[in-house]
Amino acid sequence: MSRPPKTDPEPTVQDEAARAGWLYYVAGMTQDQIAAEMGVSRQRAQRLVSRAMADGLIQVRLNHRIGACMDLERALRDRYGLTRCRVLPGLGPGADPVPGIASAAAAELERFLRMPDPLVIGFGTGRALRGLVDAMEPLEAPQHRLVSLIGNIAPDGSASFFDVVMRISDKVRAPHYPMLVPVVSPDESLRAAFHALPPVQRVLELARTADVLFVGVGQMSNDAPLHTDGFVSSDELAQMRAAGAAGEVAGWVFDSEGRYLDFGINTRTGGVRVEPGLERPAIGIAAGATKVPAIRGALKSRILNGLITDSATAEALLAPA
């Protein structure tokens, strides 16, 4: 008598992997439970679960708004060649974006501060950096040195309100090196005189050799921080905008392609500029519709190779210019 045809073929390894993957990712079983259910060893159950993922049998979808932010992070890394990128959910139209990104910026700085090997960490100024300081947790990091990239003296002789290096130093107990020169000198000769002072030269050299940088990004529209804070006149702002000025980092103005201008306040800015294309992390902390052209220019030329921003800004940076 002939045997009836076999209608239930032996499961293949991929069949087993699919079953193991389903039990793990959908049914929520542990690998020990899967082993018992399938009658295999725990080691084989582990291999089958891994194969299910490696063969693309399992597709994971994150049903949370942070999932969209992670997609934006990956797209920004691919578009601009970023080494570090964090995108946070936006706070909605009209809201101040700084509180939404400050905690992530603080966490990124704290990651470097917890490194045991000594680092020189350079800082720009601005509201975003102040938000970072406010969001930081106190910690002990005496092995590191903190240095300003930009002068901290305002036009009236007062300390610049948004300078952060001393405030961070208070929180982390690290030695700090302020840039004791005007943010913008009245003329080139005075800037040169300030930079010629031996203590200032030592701080300048430290800033030039910083291992990692944290900076804000300023727009050059009518509400440019350099203008509203009194460092640039209306006439000079108009002149630089006519020449294509799109943004500034640490007081140094660049165009839409991230090329620094060779006139205007760039001939009088105190401190050191962030040179494009260097290997050390240069992380920008910025968000908001008015800052998009400035951020885009800084990313194009790699003045910045890292970015912490919000989802609305990220989407704008990925849209056609």
At 201, the pLDDT band (50, 70, 90 cuts) reads: very high
| Lowest model confidence (mean pLDDT) among 50-59, 108-117, 282-291, 310-319 | 50-59
Residue 301's H or E segment, with its range, is: none
Which residue segments constitute the domains of the chain, with CATH numbers given? 13-54 (1.10.10), 65-318 (3.40.50.1360)
Question: Residue 36 has which token pair?
Answer: 């018992």
The tens digit of pLDDT for each residue in 221-238 reads: 999 999 998 899 999 999
The whole-model pTM stands at 0.81
How much is the average pLDDT of 50-64?
74
- Kindly report the backbone phi and psi dihedral angles of residue 310, in degrees, each rounded to the nearest multiple of 5, phi listed first: -110, 175
pLDDT of residue 7: 45
| Position 218 pLDDT exceeds 60 | yes
Distance of alpha carbon 212 from alpha carbon 112, whole angstroms: 9
At 198, the pLDDT band (50, 70, 90 cuts) reads: very high
| List of residues 6+ apart from 33 with CB closer than 8 A | 23
Q: What's the whole-number average pLDDT of the chain?
A: 91
Distance of alpha carbon 138 from alpha carbon 111, whole angstroms: 13
Strand positions, DSSP E, the chain? 84-88, 120-123, 145-148, 176-177, 212-215, 218-219, 245-249, 252-255, 282-285, 306-310
The tens digit of pLDDT for each residue in 64-109 reads: 567 788 899 999 999 999 999 999 998 888 899 999 999 999 999 9
Beta partners for residue 153, in sequence order: 159, 182
| Lowest model confidence (mean pLDDT) among 38-47, 178-187, 213-222, 268-277 | 38-47
pLDDT of residue 1: 46
Could you give the angle at which helices 165-172 and 127-135 cross, rounded to 10 degrees? 10
Distance of alpha carbon 319 from alpha carbon 321, whole angstroms: 6
Residue found by looking up tokens 């052209």 in the block: 293
At 61, the pLDDT band (50, 70, 90 cuts) reads: low
Residue 198's H or E segment, with its range, is: helix 198-208
Could you give the angle at the alpha carbon of 279 between the alpha carbons of 206 and 80, nearest 5°? 130
Higher pLDDT, 62 or 263: 263
Whether 312 contacts 289, CB under 8 Å: yes
| Position 6 pLDDT exceeds 80 | no
At 133, the pLDDT band (50, 70, 90 cuts) reads: very high
Question: 217 burial class (0-12, 13-18, 19+ CB within 10 angstroms)?
Answer: buried
pLDDT of residue 155: 80
